[in-house]
């Protein structure tokens, strides 16, 4: 009887501990969600209702026409199409090139491999602002300015040091016996990479695709530097243009921000499981 009471007491303590932990997580989540809730609420308010005190989270009368006005204020559909095209091409280039380079660092044995990998990681220390001027001069000499080439083609040449590191770490978690068995069957190194190992790295590829999507979709500096024609602008440039022209119309600004944020939220919701798995698996081997 005493053992049963102790068992029930321990279970009650565990349940209470988990419940307290979930309440803390919920409270922290609400704190982080509060700015997004306020942005959504502001996007549905009238102009004079935004700065009332005490503040109101629920608009008196939701004004859905704010979204129509915000879309008409800039060439939204053109900018959306340009952003989608640049982002999709950047994701394809990053995933393919980073996985290809990472395979060479993880599974192939060649001279000075580790030293070269260290140099690749070292390049991650240089921010875009350091290389901005020489890169601009390079693209100018190539005749790429005012085109999507500077925003797409570089992603097909390595995909970035962090993405290479992420894919390499994931490749290291795959047993070497798979590659050896394929070589014994006469499979080439490219065949091993493309047909055997790459399908196994789905979580890592989705993680890299998500990072690349966030980076490219929200990129403002790149389009600002390399694009000059209005019709070739992106949503990030459109938002900046809207701020310059309608900066005091906060309800329309929030409506446009919500529209730009929706694809990010949808993609993150559907890719969250793979994102967590990819980040977790890449830390198993060094």
Domain membership flag for residue 11: yes
Number of domains the chain is built from:
2
Q: What is the rounded CA–CA span in Å between residue 181 and residue 192?
A: 10
Specify whether 172 is located in the same domain as 238. Answer: yes
Specify whether 120 is located in the same domain as 212. Answer: yes
CA distances from 80 to 47, 250, 258 (A): 26, 21, 13
Least reliable range by pLDDT among 67-71, 158-162, 178-182, 247-251: 247-251
What is the token pair recorded at 115? 């030293």
pLDDT in tens, 237-266: 999 888 887 767 888 999 999 999 999 888
Specify whether 247 is located in the same domain as 198. Answer: yes
Specify whether 131 is located in the same domain as 86. Answer: yes
Specify whether 161 is located in the same domain as 199. Answer: yes
Specify whether 84 is located in the same domain as 32. Answer: no
Mean pLDDT of the chain: 86
CA distances from 138 to 80, 159, 183 (A): 28, 19, 42
Domain membership flag for residue 38: yes
Specify whether 114 is located in the same domain as 15. Answer: no
Q: Tell me, what CATH number does 217's domain have?
A: 1.10.3720.10
The reported pLDDT for the residue numbered 270 is 81
Mean pLDDT in residue range 126-130: 82
The domain of 14 spans 2-43
The reported pLDDT for the residue numbered 140 is 94
The reported pLDDT for the residue numbered 47 is 74
Mean pLDDT in residue range 211-234: 92
Q: To 5 degrees, how large is the angle CA 155–CA 170–CA 96?
A: 25
Specify whether 89 is located in the same domain as 29. Answer: no
What is the token pair recorded at 153? 């083609």
Residue 137: band (very low, low, confident or very high) from pLDDT cuts 50, 70, 90: very high
Domain membership flag for residue 48: no
pLDDT in tens, 139-156: 999 999 999 999 999 999
Q: Between 258 and 281, where is the model more confident?
A: 258
pLDDT in tens, 25-72: 888 888 888 888 888 888 888 877 887 777 777 888 888 899 999 999
CA nearest 20: which of 75, 254, 28? Answer: 28
The reported pLDDT for the residue numbered 98 is 94
Cβ proximity of 270 and 78 under 8 Å: no
Specify whether 100 is located in the same domain as 212. Answer: yes
CA distances from 13 to 3, 7, 226, 285 (A): 15, 10, 60, 36
Specify whether 76 is located in the same domain as 15. Answer: no
The reported pLDDT for the residue numbered 286 is 46
Q: What is the rounded CA–CA span in Å between residue 128 and residue 181?
A: 43
Sequence-distant (6+) residues with CB within 8 A of 245 are 73
Domain membership flag for residue 55: no
The reported pLDDT for the residue numbered 243 is 85
Cβ proximity of 68 and 137 under 8 Å: no
Sequence-distant (6+) residues with CB within 8 A of 172 are 106, 284, 285, 286
Tell me: pLDDT of 106 over 80.
yes
Mean pLDDT in residue range 185-204: 88
DSSP, residue by residue, 127-159: -HHHHHHHHHHHHHHHT-TTSSHHHHGGGGTT-
Domain membership flag for residue 58: no
Tell me: pLDDT of 234 over 80.
yes
Tell me: pLDDT of 6 over 60.
no
Tell me: pLDDT of 208 over 50.
yes
Specify whether 15 is located in the same domain as 114. Answer: no
Q: What is the rounded CA–CA span in Å between residue 4 and residue 154?
A: 66
The reported pLDDT for the residue numbered 282 is 56
Tell me: pLDDT of 7 over 80.
no
What is the token pair recorded at 33? 């969600």
DSSP, residue by residue, 152-178: HGGGGTT--HHHHHHHHHHHHTS-HHH
Q: Between 32 and 113, where is the model more confident?
A: 113
What is the token pair recorded at 83? 């952003």
Domain membership flag for residue 140: yes
Percent residues over pLDDT 70 in the chain = 91
Specify whether 82 is located in the same domain as 140. Answer: yes
């Amino acid at each position: 009887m005493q053992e049963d009471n102790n068992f029930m007491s321990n279970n009650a303590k565990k349940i209470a501990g988990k419940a307290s932990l979930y309440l803390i997580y919920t409270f922290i989540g609400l704190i982080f969600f509060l700015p997004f809730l306020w942005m959504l609420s502001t996007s549905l308010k009238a102009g004079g209702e935004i700065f009332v005190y005490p503040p109101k989270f629920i608009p008196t009368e939701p004004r859905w026409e704010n979204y129509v006005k915000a879309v008409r204020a800039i060439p939204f559909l053109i900018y959306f199409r340009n952003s989608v095209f640049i982002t999709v091409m950047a994701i394809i280039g990053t995933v393919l090139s980073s996985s290809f380079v990472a395979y060479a660092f993880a599974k192939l044995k060649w001279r000075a491999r580790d030293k070269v990998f260290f140099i690749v990681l070292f390049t991650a220390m240089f921010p875009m602002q350091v290389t901005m001027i020489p890169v601009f001069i390079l693209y100018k000499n190539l005749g790429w300015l005012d085109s999507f080439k500077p925003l797409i083609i570089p992603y097909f040449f390595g995909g970035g040091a962090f993405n290479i590191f992420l894919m390499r770490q994931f490749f290291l978690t795959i047993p070497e016996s798979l590659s050896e068995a394929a070589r014994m069957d006469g499979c080439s190194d490219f065949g091993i990479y493309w047909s055997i190992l790459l399908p196994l790295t789905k979580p890592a590829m989705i993680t890299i695709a998500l990072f690349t999507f966030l980076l490219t979709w929200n990129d403002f500096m790149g389009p600002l530097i390399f694009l000059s024609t209005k019709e070739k602008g992106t949503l990030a440039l459109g938002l900046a243009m809207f701020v310059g022209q309608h900066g005091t119309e906060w309800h329309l600004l929030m409506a446009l921000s919500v529209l730009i944020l929706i694809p990010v939220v949808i993609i993150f919701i559907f890719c969250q499981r793979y994102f967590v798995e990819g980040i977790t698996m890449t830390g198993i081997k060094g």
